[in-house]
Structures are given as structure tokens and as C-alpha cells.
């Protein structure tokens, strides 16, 4: 079946002795076509295995029915889920997805933006590296709807969907305090992004509300930026190194809130080596609720980030913007994360309740 080259509307038109336009309209379901003609065309299209050429279609329609997705790193489980969420929702509306990976590099990001521009994407969903703003300004300048994810660039006035990191960190910290922690430390990535600042703010708010001091050294930066093709266990490893230094302090914190669940892994190891118990000697709270976090020993209390929801919300914002045209007020949508309480902040619960299958 269907060997050789691709058949076009013209081929079908020629064999049926019709005009190209008639064939086009017959196939696309427009009216003004006789029932018998339409059936004939459909049958012939089926017979030769006709596949419409999206390039030509997009060229004349001015829209490629494609969304550009620009993320920093798919090996971050949050972004992996985000990809799924966006892809599913986009495809449901007939859009394909062009994916670009920036790996936190401004240079790659600029090229990716340029590439989306050339491809005439109908919209873009972007996790910006949060350095330069210009590449994305150009996209909006020519009328490409753009939604920023996770990290806002307020200067652009674009739509934004993210998780409420301030609240997430607040919840995490407040939870630790409720469980008895009085001295708490935060381990965060060393990226210059709003995410981090928001979380630190949430942490400080919770501490302030409990009248707890936040001495210097309470917020520790974990070096994780990397442009290389990536030894992947980089993040746990770096967190492990930082945690080892932390554990050499004279007085140890009661709880540590880490910037992502990979960091918790490194911290777990450092604690284990020192013979310190979680949560007995130190509570640990993660960020992300990665697929493995529930099954760590002890299972990790963590702030669940609604990746799928963020993704589908972003798609909805694009669709809305495409339908309503430009000029819509930029919407900043913060989706609240939820704290998932597990064993790393409380007594290990006997799992014997779990039903046998």
C-alpha cells in the first residue's frame, strides 16, 4: 500500500477530472459540493492514501497549528510531567509540539526562540532561563501568544503560570515548625530565578510568624548549574557535598527544607553516614514530589507541584489568546502546591494497613 511519493490534491483532481479546489473542499468538509462528488473524492483519497501537507496548509493559513515548548531540562521530573501535560492537551486541540531544550543556557535559549519564530508556531510555552528578555520579546512582537512557566519575566507582560513557591515553602516550613522544629535550614539551587527568592520569602514568613530567628547561614546555595551533556546524578551529588559541610556545624538544624527532591537524596545519604536518623534527628522536607519520593526510606514529606495542571493551564491560556486575539490582559496564574506529609517529618507509620492485592 501507499508506495512511492506522496499524493497531492492535484493528483486526485487529475484522476477524477476535477479542479484542485473541489477536491480540497470535498475533503475538508466544506459545503457547496455534491454528495456524489464528495464521495468520489473521499474514495479516491482513501485509495491513494492521501495525506494533506501541513506545510502548505500552514503557509496559506498563516498558522502552523504547532506550539513551541521550551524547557530547561527534561530530566527534571517536573518538566517531564509538564511535557506530558502539555502534549496531551495540545494534541487534543489539534496542535503539535515543537520541543526545545535550553539546559539553562541563554545562548541556546536565544536560538530556540529564533527557531520558534521561523517555524511560525501558533504559540509558545516557555520556561525562561531568566537572563535575557529580548528573544521572547521578539516572539510577542510579531503576535505569537506566549505563556511563561515557573519563572516570570514581568517586563514582558506575558501570561504566566507557575506554582506558588512562596506558599509552598511557607507550608513546608510551617509544617516542620508544627512538628517541633525550631531551627530550620533551606537548601536551594544557585540559579538567579524568582522561584528561589519566592521560596526563601515563604520560609522567612513562616519563621517570622513563629517568632523563630533566621540566623546567617540558614539559606544555603547548592551549585547545580551545568551546561554539559550532564552527568545526571549531579544534583543529589552536589546536595550531598553541601549537606556534609552542613553536618559539620557545631549545632545542627532540626529540619531542612530542600529545593527539590533530588537534594533530599543527597541529604539522606549524608545523614545516614553520620548515623543521624530521619525524622528523629532531623526532619527533611522536599520540593517536587518526584516519582521516587513516596518510596524513599523514610518516605519524603514534600511539596507537590502540580506539573500537569500547570501544563494544561498554559495550553488553555494559549488557546484563549488565539481565539480572542491579542490585547488580552496578561494573566498571572499561581497554582497552589500541596504539602504531602510523609514519614520524613513524622513518626514512621506501620505500613501493614496496606491491603494485600
Q: Which residues bind DNA (CB under 7 A)?
A: 6, 8-10, 17-22, 24, 27-28, 30-38, 50, 52-53, 56-57, 59-62
Nearer to its own copies, 14 or 59 (CB): 59
What's the closest the beta carbon of residue 56 comes to DNA, in angstroms? 3
Strand partners, 159: 147
CB closer to DNA, 24 vs 183? 24
d(C-alpha 293, C-alpha 302), whole Å: 8
**48 burial via Cβ count (<10 Å: 0-12, 13-18, 19+):** middle
Using DSSP bridges, classify how beta strands 338-340 and 301-304 pair: parallel, antiparallel or unpaired: antiparallel
Binder of residue 36, out of its own copies, DNA, none (CB less than 5 to 8 A by kind): DNA
Residue 328 binding partner per list DNA, its own copies, none, with a CB distance cut-off of 5 to 8 Å that depends on partner kind = none
C-alpha dihedral over 106, 107, 113, 116, to 10 degrees? -140
Closest distance to DNA from the beta carbon of 26 (Å)? 7
Number of Cβ within 10 Å of residue 216's Cβ equals: 5
Using the minimum distance from each CB to its own copies, give the nearer residue, 56 or 197. 56
Are the beta carbons of 339 and 172 closer than 8 angstroms? Answer: yes
For residue 66, what are the β-bridge partners?
96
35 binds, among DNA, its own copies, none (CB under 5 to 8 A by kind): DNA
| Minimum CB distance to DNA, residue 320 (Å) | 21
4 makes contact, choosing from its own copies, DNA, none, with CB < 5 to 8 Å by partner type, with its own copies
Nearer to DNA, 62 or 275 (CB): 62
User: Which one of its own copies, DNA, none is in contact with 323 (Cβ closer than 5 to 8 A by kind)?
Assistant: none
Output the smallest distance, CB 119 to DNA, in A.
12
Q: Which is nearer to its own copies, 75 or 194 (CB)?
A: 75
Residue 98 binding partner per list its own copies, DNA, none, with a CB distance cut-off of 5 to 8 Å that depends on partner kind: its own copies
CA distance 206 to 171: 8
For 88, residues 6+ apart whose C-beta sits below 8 A from its C-beta are 312
- Provide the minimum distance between the beta carbon of 49 and DNA in the complex, in angstroms, as a whole number: 12
Closer by beta carbon to its own copies, 9 or else 207? 9
Strands 283-288 and 301-304: parallel
Between 23 and 177, CB nearer to its own copies: 23
Minimum distance from CB of 308 to its own copies (Å)?
6
How far apart are alpha carbons 44 and 272 in whole angstroms? 70
88 binds, among DNA, its own copies, none (CB under 5 to 8 A by kind): its own copies
| Residue in 105, 169, 110 with CA at minimum distance from that of residue 302 | 169
Nearer to its own copies, 136 or 170 (CB): 136
Tell me how far, at minimum, the Cβ of 96 lies from its own copies, in Å. Answer: 6
> Alpha-carbon distance 126 to 112, whole Å?
10
Which class for 264: exposed (0-12), middle (13-18), buried (19 or more C-beta within 10 A)?
Answer: buried
269 contacts which partner out of its own copies, DNA, none, CB within 5 to 8 A by kind?
Answer: its own copies
CB 95 within 8 A of CB 65: yes
- In the bound complex, what is the minimum distance in angstroms from residue 15's beta carbon to DNA? 12
Strands (E), 88-244: 96-101, 123-126, 146-149, 159-163, 184-189, 219-222
Amino acid at each position: 500500500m501507499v508506495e512511492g511519493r506522496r499524493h497531492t490534491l492535484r493528483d486526485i483532481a487529475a484522476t477524477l477530472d476535477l479542479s484542485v479546489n473541489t477536491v480540497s473542499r470535498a475533503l475538508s468538509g466544506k459545503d457547496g459540493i455534491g454528495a456524489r462528488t464528495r464521495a468520489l473524492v473521499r474514495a479516491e483519497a482513501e485509495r491513494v492514501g492521501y495525506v494533506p501537507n501541513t506545510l502548505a496548509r500552514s503557509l496559506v493559513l498563516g498558522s502552523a497549528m504547532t506550539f513551541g515548548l521550551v524547557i530547561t531540562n527534561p530530566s527534571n521530573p517536573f518538566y517531564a510531567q509538564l511535557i506530558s501535560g502539555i502534549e496531551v492537551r495540545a494534541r487534543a486541540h489539534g496542535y503539535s509540539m515543537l520541543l526545545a531544550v535550553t539546559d539553562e543556557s541563554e545562548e541556546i535559549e536565544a536560538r530556540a526562540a529564533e527557531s520558534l519564530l521561523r517555524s511560525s508556531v501558533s504559540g509558545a510555552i516557555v520556561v525562561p532561563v531568566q537572563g535575557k528578555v529580548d528573544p521572547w520579546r521578539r516572539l510577542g512582537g510579531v503576535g505569537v501568544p506566549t505563556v511563561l512557566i515557573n519563572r516570570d519575566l514581568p517586563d514582558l507582560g506575558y501570561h504566566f503560570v507557575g506554582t506558588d513557591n512562596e506558599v509552598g515553602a511557607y507550608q513546608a516550613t510551617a509544617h516542620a515548625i508544627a512538628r517541633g522544629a525550631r531551627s530550620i535550614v533551606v537548601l536551594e539551587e544557585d540559579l538567579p530565578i524568582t522561584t528561589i527568592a519566592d521560596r526563601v520569602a515563604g520560609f522567612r514568613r513562616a519563621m517570622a510568624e513563629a517568632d523563630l530567628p533566621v540566623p546567617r547561614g540558614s539559606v544555603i546555595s547548592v551549585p547545580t548549574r551545568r551546561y554539559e551533556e550532564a552527568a545526571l546524578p549531579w544534583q543529589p551529588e552536589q546536595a550531598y557535598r553541601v549537606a556534609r559541610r552542613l553536618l559539620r556545624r557545631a549545632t545542627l538544624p532540626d529540619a531542612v527544607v530542600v529545593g527539590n527532591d533530588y537534594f533530599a537524596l543527597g541529604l539522606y545519604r549524608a545523614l545516614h553516614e553520620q548515623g543521624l536518623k530521619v525524622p528523629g534527628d532531623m526532619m527533611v522536607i522536599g520540593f517536587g514530589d518526584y516519582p521516587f519520593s513516596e518510596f524513599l526510606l523514610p518516605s519524603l514529606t514534600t511539596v507537590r507541584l502540580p506539573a500537569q495542571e500547570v501544563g494544561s493551564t498554559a495550553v488553555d491560556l494559549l488557546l484563549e489568546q488565539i481565539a480572542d486575539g491579542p490585547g488580552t490582559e496578561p494573566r498571572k496564574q499561581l497554582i497552589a502546591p500541596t504539602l504531602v506529609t510523609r514519614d520524613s517529618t513524622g513518626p514512621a507509620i506501620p505500613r501493614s494497613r496496606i491491603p494485600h492485592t
